[in-house]
Amino acid sequence: MRTQTSALRSRHLLGIEPLSPEEITLILDTAEGFKEVSERPVKKVPALRGQLVINLFMEASTRTRVSFEIAEKRLSADTLNFAASGSSVEKGETLIDTAENLMAMHPDMIVIRHKHPGAPKMLADRLPASIINAGDGAHEHPTQALLDAFTIRERFGRLAGLNISIIGDIAHSRVVRSNIHLLTKMKANVTIAAPPTLIPAEIEKMGVRVVHSLDEAIEGADVVMMLRIQLERQGKLSFPSLREYYNTFGLTPERLRRANRNAIVMHPGPMNRGVEIASDVADNAERSVILQQVTNGVAVRMAVLYLLGGAHVVE
Amino acid sequence: MRTQTSALRSRHLLGIEPLSPEEITLILDTAEGFKEVSERPVKKVPALRGQLVINLFMEASTRTRVSFEIAEKRLSADTLNFAASGSSVEKGETLIDTAENLMAMHPDMIVIRHKHPGAPKMLADRLPASIINAGDGAHEHPTQALLDAFTIRERFGRLAGLNISIIGDIAHSRVVRSNIHLLTKMKANVTIAAPPTLIPAEIEKMGVRVVHSLDEAIEGADVVMMLRIQLERQGKLSFPSLREYYNTFGLTPERLRRANRNAIVMHPGPMNRGVEIASDVADNAERSVILQQVTNGVAVRMAVLYLLGGAHVVE
Amino acid sequence: MRTQTSALRSRHLLGIEPLSPEEITLILDTAEGFKEVSERPVKKVPALRGQLVINLFMEASTRTRVSFEIAEKRLSADTLNFAASGSSVEKGETLIDTAENLMAMHPDMIVIRHKHPGAPKMLADRLPASIINAGDGAHEHPTQALLDAFTIRERFGRLAGLNISIIGDIAHSRVVRSNIHLLTKMKANVTIAAPPTLIPAEIEKMGVRVVHSLDEAIEGADVVMMLRIQLERQGKLSFPSLREYYNTFGLTPERLRRANRNAIVMHPGPMNRGVEIASDVADNAERSVILQQVTNGVAVRMAVLYLLGGAHVVE
CA A44, C110, C227, C178 torsion-angle sign = negative
- Residue with more model confidence, C203 or C235: C203
Same domain, A101 and A51: yes
In whole angstroms, give the CA distance from residue A146 to residue A141. Answer: 9
Q: Would you say residue C12 lies in a domain?
A: no
Tell me: pLDDT of C203 over 70: yes
Residues C175 and C113 in one domain: no
Residues B190 and B257 in one domain: yes
Residues C113 and C150 in one domain: no
Q: Which domain holds residue B56?
A: 21-140+294-314
- List the CATH number of the domain containing B99: 3.40.50.1370
Query: Based on the domain organization, do C277 and C149 belong to the same domain?
Result: yes
Domain membership flag for residue B13: no
Of B88, B94, B313, the CB nearest to A62: B88
The answer to whether position B4 is within a domain reads no
What is the three-class DSSP state of B220?
coil
- C92/B298 CB distance under 8 A: no
Q: Within this chain, do residues A74 and A154 fall inside the same structural domain, yes or no?
A: no
Which partners does chain C have (≥3 C-beta pairs < 8 Å)?
A, B
- Specify whether B166 is located in the same domain as B108: no
CA distance linking residue B99 with residue C46, whole number of Å: 35
Query: Is A131 in the same domain as A89?
Result: yes
Higher-scoring residue by pLDDT: C88, A112: A112
- Return the SS3 of C166: strand
- Residue A83 pLDDT: 81
Count of the separate structural domains present in chain B: 2
The chains found to touch A (3+ Cβ pairs under 8 angstroms) are B, C
Q: Name B38's Cβ contacts closer than 8 Å, sequence gap at least 6.
A: B74, B295, B298, B299, C105, C106
Residue A36 has pLDDT above 70, yes or no: yes
Look over chain C and give the mean of its residue pLDDT values, rounded to a whole number: 91
* C-alpha gyration radius of chain A: 19
pLDDT digits (tens, 9 = 90+) for B84-135: 654 555 556 788 888 999 999 999 999 999 999 999 999 999 999 999 999 9
Q: With a cut of 80, say whether residue A312 has pLDDT above it.
A: no
Has residue B3 got a pLDDT over 90?
A: no
Name the strands in the sheet holding B264-266, side by side, starting at the edge strand that comes first in the sequence.
B209-211, B189-193, B163-167, B223-226, B264-266
DSSP string across A226-242: EPP--HHHHSS-SSS-H
C256-295, pLDDT tens digit by residue? Answer: 999 999 999 999 998 999 999 999 999 999 999 999 999 9
Closest Cα partner for C142 from C115, C180, C172? C180
What does the pLDDT read at residue A2? 47
Best probe of the C interface among B70, B76, B266, by most C CBs < 10 A, is B70
Most confident of A66-70, A198-202, B227-231, B238-242: A66-70
**A14 occurs within a structural domain:** no
Nearest CA in chain B to C314: B41
Same domain, B165 and B281: yes
pLDDT at A132 exceeding the cut of 90: yes
Interface test with A, best of C34, C36, C42, C43 (most A CBs within 10 A): C43
pLDDT more than 90, % of chain B: 79
Nearest CA-CA distance, residue B86 and chain A, Å: 5
Shared domain for A273 and A148, answered yes or no, is yes
Residue C224 lies in a domain: yes
User: Residue B245 falls within a domain, yes or no?
Assistant: yes
